[in-house]
Amino acid sequence: METRNTFQKSLVLKAIQDLHHPTADGVYGLVSAGCPTISRGTVYRNLNALVEAGKLRRVGIPDGADRFDASVTDHYHIRCSRCGAVTDIDMPFQRDLMKQAGDVHGYLIESHDIIFKGICPDCRLPDDIV
Amino acid sequence: METRNTFQKSLVLKAIQDLHHPTADGVYGLVSAGCPTISRGTVYRNLNALVEAGKLRRVGIPDGADRFDASVTDHYHIRCSRCGAVTDIDMPFQRDLMKQAGDVHGYLIESHDIIFKGICPDCRLPDDIV
DNA sequence: ATTTATGCAAATCATTTGCACATAG
DNA sequence: CTATGTGCAAATGATTTGCATAAAT
């Protein structure tokens, strides 16, 4: 299937780069500000196409809408349990875990995701101990 | 809020123990075989109550309905990219990753989840190389 | 007796899809 | 030109919720 460059697709890609880890709805909000006629369906279709094309990463979040990430290199995410913000975590990718996991039950491991949950510096209160 | 023991709740808990990592719909299927009058709403409410009570673990699966796990101890999961089955992985829990992740950006880490993706032994074909 | 749980149906939220029209190549 | 993309609205799938009734304590 050939793929075409449309104005709408470029706006969606730009929105992902300008927002950090937005939901599809967040993208729609920003894009529709500059292009009021765009539809949610088009935003979803373009998000899927860009993920498919490897220009975007989809981050599945338990208990919530998918997030989209302009960075497609291997890395992990953390979600603040208070404000809900999703952020990249700048720590080494644990490639060895995949081998470990595969050895245990004879799976051929393709990938892995780690989602941390915690309280971000902004939401942290003086007496927070976990 | 007080919590009561109902016939329906016990059926839901038993279903989770008998199935492995079922979805809410899977639970509904098994439970309604023995109790045809139970409603999906009740299944969902009981699943939530049991998770809340710490008797069950909810496993969020990217691209799919939540799964429920009778084992509440710390462990990871793998999902077969062919048949979709979700299984526990019997490997050490990486407690040190939480400290690493927290140190990087000043978060107070509460927990983490790892979801592996791969091909299970049953779905694996002779020429599968990943 | 009082409060929590149930069954039903309608509601919500995220996402996908069918269709007629527009547009990129 | 012709296939792919768009806007719209309706459809889907998972889950939640309001309400009157039933059951647990």
Residue B123: pLDDT band (50, 70, 90) is very high
pLDDT in tens, B59-73: 999 889 999 999 999
Please check whether residue B110 touches A, CB under 8 A.
yes
Q: How far apart are the first and last CA of chain A?
A: 51
Residue A23, min C-alpha distance to chain B (Å) = 14
Nearest to A110 among B58, B94, B117 (CB): B117
Mutate to test the interface with A, among B98, B99, B108 (most CBs of A within 10 A): B108
| B17 SS3 class | helix
Question: Token pair for residue B117?
Answer: 């993706």
DSSP 8-state code for residue B64: S
Q: Sheet of B76-80: strands edge to edge?
A: A86-89, A76-80, A108-119, B108-119, B76-80, B86-89
Q: How confident is the model at residue A99 (pLDDT cuts 50, 70, 90)?
A: very high
Mutation pick from A48, A66, A79, A89 vs chain B, by most beta carbons of B within 10 Å, is A89
- Protein B5 CA to nucleic acid C24 C1', in Å? 63
Q: Which of B111, B116, B129 sits opposite A112 (nearest CB)?
A: B116
A2 falls in which pLDDT band (50, 70, 90)? confident
- pLDDT bucket at A129, cuts 50 / 70 / 90: confident
End-to-end CA distance of chain B: 50
> CB–CB of B69/B63 below 8 Å?
no
pLDDT confidence bin for A114, thresholds 50/70/90? very high
* Distance between CA atoms of residues A59 and A76, nearest Å: 10
Beta carbons of A38 and A8 less than 8 angstroms apart: yes
**Angle, helices A40-52/A24-34, rounded to nearest 10 degrees:** 120
pLDDT above 90 covers what percent of chain B? 92
pLDDT at A130: 62
Q: B63 vs chain A: nearest CA distance in angstroms?
A: 7
Is pLDDT of B97 > 90?
A: yes
| pLDDT of A115 above 80 | yes
A85 touches chain B (CB under 8 A): no
The overall average pLDDT reported for chain B is 95
DSSP structure class, residue B87: E
pLDDT at B130 over 70: no
- Write the pLDDT tens digit of every residue in B1-34: 789 999 999 999 999 999 999 999 999 999 999 9
Rounded Cα–Cα distance for residues B15 and B31 (Å): 7
- pLDDT above 70: residue B42: yes
Find and list the nucleotides of strand C having atoms within 7 Å of a protein beta carbon: 3-10, 13-18, 23-25
CA dist list (Å): B100 to A87, A89, B112:
15, 10, 12
Distance between alpha carbon B30 and the CA centroid of its chain, in Å?
16
Q: Is the pTM of this model over 0.85?
A: yes
Phi-psi region of B103 (alpha: psi -120 to 50; beta: other; left: phi over 0): alpha
Q: Is the pLDDT of residue B78 over 80?
A: yes
Q: Residue A38: its pLDDT value, please?
A: 98
> Which is more confidently placed, B127 or A73?
A73
- B110, A118: Cβ pair inside 8 Å? yes
A7, pLDDT greater than 80: yes
Contact A27, A68 (CB under 8 A): yes
Question: Using CA atoms, how far apart are residues B41 and A110, in angstroms rounded to an integer?
Answer: 36
Q: How far apart are CA B130 and CA B125, in angstroms?
A: 11
Calpha distance A76→B101 (Å, rounded):
9
Q: Please say if the pLDDT value at position A42 is more than 70.
A: yes
- CB contact A110 to B (< 8 Å): yes
Q: Does B100 touch chain A (CB under 8 A)?
A: yes
Smallest CA-to-CA distance from A11 within B62, A105, A100, A39 is with: A39
Query: Which of A89, A105, A106 comes nearest B101 by C-beta?
Result: A89
Query: Which long-range contacts does A69-76 make (Cβ < 8 Å, 24+ apart)?
Result: A69/A16, A69/A21, A70/A16, A70/A17, A76/A113, A76/A114, A76/A115, A76/A116, A76/B101
